[in-house]
Amino acid sequence: MMNEKLIFVTNDDSYASKGFKAAIEVARHFGRVIAVAPDTVQSGKSQAITICDTLRLKCISKSEDVEIYSLNGTPVDCVKFAFDYFLKGKKVDMTISGVNHGSNAAANLLYSGTMGAAIESAFYGVPSIGLSNIDHSADADFEASVEYGIRIAKRVIESDIRPICLNVNIPILPVEQIKGIKVCRQTKGFWRDEILERKDPNGESYYWLTGGFENHEPDAADSDEWALKEGYVAVVPVQVDLTSYSQLKAVADILE
Amino acid sequence: MMNEKLIFVTNDDSYASKGFKAAIEVARHFGRVIAVAPDTVQSGKSQAITICDTLRLKCISKSEDVEIYSLNGTPVDCVKFAFDYFLKGKKVDMTISGVNHGSNAAANLLYSGTMGAAIESAFYGVPSIGLSNIDHSADADFEASVEYGIRIAKRVIESDIRPICLNVNIPILPVEQIKGIKVCRQTKGFWRDEILERKDPNGESYYWLTGGFENHEPDAADSDEWALKEGYVAVVPVQVDLTSYSQLKAVADILE
């Protein structure tokens, strides 16, 4: 263990999830851990922040090496609480967000609270890794997630690529069957939703969002969905500048 | 009025906001309007979706040309309801999201519910314009927002740039003092937060997220913050692929 490191951990499935314990395990490999995670499930919260409500904080457990807090906010709120409150002025060596229960590949990246937190952390200049196990069941097996999480985090800490924010998705396979790591781009496609209508006991309608991902390029061998399907750990380097640089001139031509 | 068009309107300040009425006014210039907007303020909701809760829909008003619905969900939920429920299978010519009360320039783009909805709409292949008046007061003057909203929407409809998703911010100036439209990139910088602690009547702590934007490049003449400061309407073309292409090789070198 490299005891000198300070690692921040958060997620979007709450401090009580199995994936959160797996993320703590990854982080503990490198040093001291401060974790602030939502007190309830915050899946699909993207980079949402809490502006109009108050926040409550609770200490879950505290030892010399691991401090865990819960917050009644979003994953990004947890990052802000960590970096602008608990760790203000301290050098944080890395953020591990996750391990998410379920895929954050392709367009899921944009809805993901796990990745919202990783992107927010990258804003603060901290190398950030979002880890997602594409098995979304509550009792998913996180052995491969921990194994590859440590392997990737080690190389990121040792590298000089800064800023860095990685979207890492782990296939549902035993460690020995995973083919390795593939660095990819975000697959093109989107969620096609179905709005499921039901009646409440008073006969009034209510709705559930359901649906499935439409992959617009299932055969693209440089895409993250392809890599996962083929049995690789898929890693997408993520940027926080949404400017579509390739369109700047065309848009200026019609608007300026 | 080009009566043949079908325009979708949403926002993040709710159907009851002044900015929503301004967005309807922009959309009405082009044709028939279907609007689905949150029933309460959803500022800072980014691209969040509602996975774990049920949704309720309410018809606010319905005429031949304008239908307005409210939803107890996020801005992105509203988009999904529109495109996968009300307008399923129909060709929507444009989405107007806003007009937001407050700036969505620079990193605000990533937290913004207004822009979350615009990005979601672009996923569906619909040309999307997010409009934000940088005056966040409830009774802000939307004259310039409507004027420039119509001007920009007209040129986007007439152009062949597809996909297209624009982040448009309007300065706090009378129309005649605005210098014109500047197509820009997202300003580099982030929100530095302060966690404000207070005590509730029982003596327990609660917190508010506060803070301010740190502009890391105040003098960059191609950035949206600079354009707004100089009195221009700032337009950033937005992409939905977060892959950091420039880092693909470097990350593959350390991980693969």
Instruction: Tell me what the mean pLDDT of segment B129-141 comes to.
Output: 97
Chain A residues touching B191 at Cβ < 8 A: 123
Distance separating alpha carbons of residues B5 and B157, to the nearest angstrom:
10
Distance separating alpha carbons of residues A13 and B81, to the nearest angstrom:
25
In this predicted structure, the answer to whether residue A175 has a pLDDT above a threshold of 80 is: yes
Percent of residues, chain A, with pLDDT higher than 90: 92
In this predicted structure, the answer to whether residue A196 has a pLDDT above a threshold of 90 is: yes
| pLDDT tens digits, A90-127 | 999 999 999 999 999 999 999 999 999 999 999 999 99
**Residue B192's pLDDT is what?**
82
Helix (H, G, I), strand (E, B) or coil at A43: coil
Chain A residues touching B209 at Cβ < 8 A: 49-51, 55, 77, 80
**Residue A212's pLDDT is what?**
86
**Residue B70's pLDDT is what?**
98
**Residue B4's pLDDT is what?**
82
| pLDDT tens digits, B17-30 | 999 999 999 999 99
**Residue A86's pLDDT is what?**
87
Start-to-end Cα distance in chain B: 57
A3 pLDDT tier (thresholds 50, 70, 90): low
In this predicted structure, the answer to whether residue A235 has a pLDDT above a threshold of 70 is: yes
Tokens 């966040």 identify what position? B136
Percent of residues, chain B, with pLDDT higher than 70: 99
Instruction: Tell me what the mean pLDDT of segment A243-250 comes to.
Output: 94
**Residue B211's pLDDT is what?**
85
* Alpha helices, H only, chain B: 18-28, 75-81, 108-111, 113-123, 143-158, 224-229, 248-255
Considering only CA atoms, which of A175, A65, A75, A184 is closest in space to residue A119?
A75
Which H or E run includes B232?
strand B232-237
Check CB contact of A59 with chain B, cutoff 8 Å.
no
Q: Which two structure tokens, joined as six digits, stand for B18? A: 């002044």
**Residue A193's pLDDT is what?**
84
Distance separating alpha carbons of residues B108 and B169, to the nearest angstrom:
11
A11 pLDDT tier (thresholds 50, 70, 90): very high
Contact A132, A169 (CB under 8 A): yes
Tokens 């009547």 identify what position? B201
The verdict on a CB contact (< 8 Å) between A47 and B111 is yes
The verdict on a CB contact (< 8 Å) between A80 and B193 is yes
Contact A193, A203 (CB under 8 A): no
Q: Which amino acid is at B219?
A: D
Chain A residues touching B52 at Cβ < 8 A: 41, 43
Contact B167, B109 (CB under 8 A): yes
Instruction: Write the CB contacts of B224 (distance below 8 Å, at least 6 apart in sequence).
Output: B105, B106, B167, B169, B184, B185, B186, B187, B234, B236
Calculate how close chain B gets to A174, using CA atoms only, in Å. Answer: 19
Calculate how close chain B gets to A21, using CA atoms only, in Å. Answer: 22
Best A243, A246, A249, A256 member to test B by mutation, with max B CBs in 10 Å, is A243
Q: Which two structure tokens, joined as six digits, stand for B178? A: 């605005």
Contact B135, B101 (CB under 8 A): yes
Which H or E run includes A248?
helix A248-255
The verdict on a CB contact (< 8 Å) between A243 and B252 is no
In this predicted structure, the answer to whether residue B1 has a pLDDT above a threshold of 90 is: no
The verdict on a CB contact (< 8 Å) between B161 and A250 is yes
Average pLDDT taken over every residue of chain B:
95
Cα distances from A141 to residues A99, A173, B34, in angstroms, run: 11, 9, 45
Q: Which two structure tokens, joined as six digits, stand for A180? A: 């390795």
Which H or E run includes B56?
none
Contact B110, B143 (CB under 8 A): no
Calculate how close chain B gets to A194, using CA atoms only, in Å. Answer: 6
Check CB contact of B190 with chain A, cutoff 8 Å.
yes
Check CB contact of A161 with chain B, cutoff 8 Å.
yes
Cross-chain CB nearest to B209 (options A77, A186, A209): A77
Q: Which two structure tokens, joined as six digits, stand for A202? A: 């008073």
Q: Which two structure tokens, joined as six digits, stand for A85? A: 């409150």
Q: Which two structure tokens, joined as six digits, stand for A187? A: 């697959």
Nearest residue of B to residue A223, measured between CA atoms: B243
Check CB contact of A84 with chain B, cutoff 8 Å.
yes
Q: Which two structure tokens, joined as six digits, stand for A87? A: 């760790």
A190 pLDDT tier (thresholds 50, 70, 90): confident
**Residue A238's pLDDT is what?**
97
Burial A226-254 (b: 16+ CB within 10 A, else e): bbbeeebbbbbbbbbbbbbeebbebbeeb
B133 pLDDT tier (thresholds 50, 70, 90): very high
CB atoms within 10 A of CB B136: 15
The verdict on a CB contact (< 8 Å) between A55 and B247 is no
Average pLDDT taken over every residue of chain A:
95
**Residue B84's pLDDT is what?**
93
Distance separating alpha carbons of residues B105 and A157, to the nearest angstrom:
32
Which H or E run includes A143?
helix A143-158
**Residue B3's pLDDT is what?**
53
Considering only CA atoms, which of A161, A155, A216, A212 is closest in space to residue A189?
A216
| pLDDT tens digits, B62-104 | 999 999 999 999 999 999 999 999 899 999 999 999 999 999 9
Distance separating alpha carbons of residues B169 and B56, to the nearest angstrom:
31
- Judged on CB neighbours under 10 Å (0-12, 13-18, 19+), B167 is buried
Name all contacts of B60-67 with Cβ < 8 Å and 24+ positions apart: B60/B15, B65/B28, B65/B31, B65/B32, B65/B33, B66/B24, B66/B28, B66/B32, B66/B33, B66/B35, B67/B33, B67/B34, B67/B35
The verdict on a CB contact (< 8 Å) between A251 and B164 is yes
Check CB contact of B84 with chain A, cutoff 8 Å.
yes
In this predicted structure, the answer to whether residue A211 has a pLDDT above a threshold of 90 is: no
pTM of the model: 0.95
